[in-house]
Structure 1
């Protein structure tokens, strides 16, 4: 199918639901071959059906991203089949727990940081060289406003997303002379299961849908994007400017 991403290969983690699902669907609708990664096989199969219904193609990868060796094998498989990667959407993550820092259980802390930070780094490591081989590599790593607001009780999630942003900024600086463009995205409050868990009393109908948010993120994967090493804020629909250290 013809589109802005015809012939491109895109990897999307957390693709079985929410923003990841709808980004995968839209990437495919623009012609990209989508490598969809998630733990939930049923969700991946629903995504595959939706992609096929619009004439697209996907490769399904049922994988728990806590399996670091599995991430490495995925990178090797992409190398063997395509020899490159054009688009990375590092979307998978978890809320953890909203709690006073002193009350966070060690096992909850470890799992949250392992998924939100360690697996994100491992995905970056597994795809870095593949993205460098693309003539217009694009990497989008999901962040959150929590990384900057650091509200009470949000310390665990905030710290994990702040760490991801630091990785992204450094990665962007390492690749600044290349065609690769690396950015973070703050999707803002979105009608997702994670948001409902964090804000149980909130009316979800007052929030934008994952499909609406995905539509605003999609252009960051196109070849014409010039920005790199920035935080894209979906609510403001623009890149926010970081002040470089003196």
Structure 2
């Protein structure tokens, strides 16, 4: 499917590697100008080179998601330069530890919640007025099957992603009369550094490459998306949408 995003402004967090990197690249290939955010400057520069090689354009914004002042200022900076935002891909996140709940250090729990939950909320708060100015605003909030499976030892990550999904669903309900469409994404097991950290004995070659996930997500950033408040799950056969219980 060919998606035309010329003239669109897209913001992608966690864009220096993995799903964020390849989603940013696909958005740029489709014609969007990508605002790429991540901590790792080298990864952002690699992305910029790849985007330029594909004929696209990007603006690099290196910052840490624990820097709440930077998140709060981001919306204003985007407004001053472009006046709107069309696409948000809130991809950045961290695993924390695979550990019994009672053994998780407080500082680890608090950092995961800060990066995965609080930073996502602050980001939404910062850019929501801009997305409302778009005639086809789209927001993809990256979640995980961990939010529903709640497997042993995955407590902090599962809790953080369940919270992120609750935020996305609430935001979608509040915006249902607007052109803005907001969905959560469960990409499934993917060949990323986070997955390798979580399951170190797994053969990465058995997992989809993040490029494949990005290609599945691109249509959700375009005009054909009509649903909001849904969870989209990437499966082996297709991207499937599920409406969670009210």
Normalised by the length of structure 2, the TM-score is 0.97
Alignment of 1:84-233 (within 5 A): 84-233=84-233
Partner of 2:234: 234
- Aligned-pair CA distance for 1:3: 5.7
Contact 2:229 2:243 in 1 (8 A): no
Flag structure 2 segments of 5+ consecutive residues without an equivalent.
none
Deviations 1:51-91 (A, max 9, x none): 00111100000110100000111111001011110000000
Write the distance in 2 (CA, Å) between the matches of 1:3 and 1:45.
25
Q: Secondary structure at the match of 1:89?
A: strand
Write the distance in 1 (CA, Å) between the matches of 2:16 and 2:204.
20
- Aligned-pair CA distance for 1:14: 0.1
Write the distance in 1 (CA, Å) between the matches of 2:205 and 2:198.
15
Write the distance in 2 (CA, Å) between the matches of 1:74 and 1:101.
34
Q: Secondary structure at the match of 1:185?
A: strand
Partner of 1:79: 79
Write the distance in 1 (CA, Å) between the matches of 2:225 and 2:141.
15
Contact 1:3 1:29 in 2 (8 A): no
Aligned residues: 243
Q: Secondary structure at the match of 1:229?
A: coil
Write the distance in 2 (CA, Å) between the matches of 1:166 and 1:196.
27
Q: How much is the aligned-residue C-alpha RMSD, in angstroms?
A: 1.0
Write the distance in 1 (CA, Å) between the matches of 2:130 and 2:223.
16
Q: Secondary structure at the match of 2:151?
A: coil
Deviations 1:105-124 (A, max 9, x none): 01101111000000000110
Write the distance in 2 (CA, Å) between the matches of 1:37 and 1:241.
30
Partner of 2:51: 51
Write the distance in 1 (CA, Å) between the matches of 2:192 and 2:111.
21
Flag structure 1 segments of 5+ consecutive residues without an equivalent.
none
Deviations 1:177-209 (A, max 9, x none): 000000000000000000000000000000000
Q: Secondary structure at the match of 2:35?
A: strand
